[in-house]
Structure formats: structure tokens, C-alpha cells
Amino acid sequence: MKTIFKRPDSMTDMVTHYCPGCTHGTAHRMVAEVVDEMGIRERTVGIAPVGCSVLLYKYMDTDMHQAAHGRAPAVATGVKRVKPGLIVYSYQGDGDLASIGTAEIIHAANRGEKITVVFINNAIYGMTGGQMAPTTMPNQKTTTSPYGRDVNDVGYPMRMCEMLQTLRTPSYIARASLHDPLHSVQAKQALKKAFAYQNENKCFSFVELLSICPTNWGIPPVKSMDWLVERMLPYYPLGVFKTPEDEE
């Protein structure tokens, strides 16, 4: 009998704890598939974040290091600098990466750390119960912006790809979305590219994945996909923002 579909070798057989409709599972699987396809499982160290995906370390069947909130790029830097032969990636949400961890992500990118960062942008804090994130959309209601995000009071959502793109150091910066199968396939291609750049020891690589959080958005999963398309896509354009080849 020919196997045509199976769990990636780089994932354990644990049942994930994610809410129905959550896109973390999709993103986890894509990372694991890329690690499998590139044959790098035995030299991969994943850095798990703080937030909903903290338990990434249970789902990935590779060496894992659980980091403090926002600090994953610094931890990844420590691992990679002393063991350059390893493939090191961090997996971080928007509160983690774009709020408490802005210094760490910007400086890891600016140093050109040969690591890969998977950035899950779902416009909200998930684990703590739906508070406003730096990526929360204008007028979006959250538990800490109960009247909607007032951009005059707390500013506009932060676009991390666009910020990182401005750095002179060569890097691969891309944004993709998980809202439908076609875009998910493209997202995986971006992830594969990112890991490949690291594998070639070429540059820092960063893939933002627009994601949904039906539970904390208070929107059913299928409608959440529509909400992402209508609200997030116009503000967070998809595409490749920077490649190392851009530089002369």
C-alpha cells in the first residue's frame, strides 16, 4: 500500500490544544513539513514562544528550547552563534514578537542572524484572553480595547515586514496568509524559502503568516477567514518584501 498522506516525521503524535478553527495547527504542520522535506530534522532546534503556541515544543519532534516572552530571537541567536551547524528557528505570535520582543527581533534581523523566524499575526493576544496587540486592526474590539482600537489613542497596527524591510542588512522578509488552501500553499513555499536561505547560511529569514483567532475575535472560523480577507489583507499586503539578492 502506498502512503499518500502522513504525519510529518518532525511532529509528535500529540493532539494539539488549539481551539477549533485556529490556524496554529496549519502553521506548525507546514514548518514540520519543510523540516522533513529539507532533511534537517536531526540538526534543527526550534525556539518555542510564550503565548498560545508555547506548547509547540510538545508538538515538534525535534530538539526544542522554550523561551521567555519576546526573547526567542535572542535565545535563537545564542544557540546559532555557538552551534552554527544547527538550523534554528523561532515561532512567535504578535504580542510576543511585535510588542514585548521588538528590540530582540529588530536586532536579530539587523545583525543578520542566520536564523528563521515564523511570525504568526492574528491581530490579538490569544493565550491571555483576547487583549489588544500591536497588530490589532483600527476599531477592532478586544478585551482591552472594548470600544475598538482608537488609532488616535494607541497608534496604528504595526507592520513588521515593512519595518524589517528598511534594514540595510540582507535578509529574506515575506508575508503570507493562511486563510485558504491556495494561500496556505504559498505560505509553505515562503517558509521553505526562508529555511533554505538559512541552510545556505545566507541571511536572516522572516515569514509573517496572517492567521485567525475565532475564539478571541468572537467570529466563527469560516467567517474569521472572511474577516482576515476583508480587514487584514488590505492593511497587511502579501508578498516578498526583501531578498538577499536585492542587495548588490
Partner 1 sequence: MAKILMKGSEAIGEAAIKAGCLSYFAYPITPQSEIAEYLAKRLPKIGGTFLQAESEIAASQMVFGAAGTGVRVMTTSSSPGISLMSEAMSYIAGAELPAVFVNIVRGGPGLGGILPSQGDYFQATKGAGHGNFRFLVLAPANVQEFVDYMIKAFPLAEKYRNPVMLVGDGLIAQMMEPVDFDNVASTPQGDVESWATTGCKDRETNLINSLFLDPLKLEKFNDKLADKYNRMRDEEVVYEEYAMDDDPDVVMVAYGTTSRVVKTAIDEFRKEDKLKVGLIRPITLFPFPMDVLRNLSAKSHVKAFGVVEMSIGQMLEDVKWATLERKPVEFFSRKGGIVPNPDETKDFIKNIFKKIGA
Applying CB under 8 A, the residues found at the interface with partner 1 are 41-45, 47-48, 54, 57, 61-68, 71, 74-83, 85-86, 103-104, 106-107, 111
Residue closer to partner 1 by CB (options 66, 165) is 66
Q: CB 89 → partner 1: shortest distance, Å? A: 12
Q: CB 138 → partner 1: shortest distance, Å? A: 30
Q: CB 26 → partner 1: shortest distance, Å? A: 22
Residue closer to partner 1 by CB (options 68, 240) is 68
Q: CB 15 → partner 1: shortest distance, Å? A: 15
Residue closer to partner 1 by CB (options 7, 81) is 81
Residue closer to partner 1 by CB (options 75, 207) is 75
Residue closer to partner 1 by CB (options 37, 42) is 42
Q: What's the one-letter identity of residue 150?
A: D
Q: CB 35 → partner 1: shortest distance, Å? A: 11
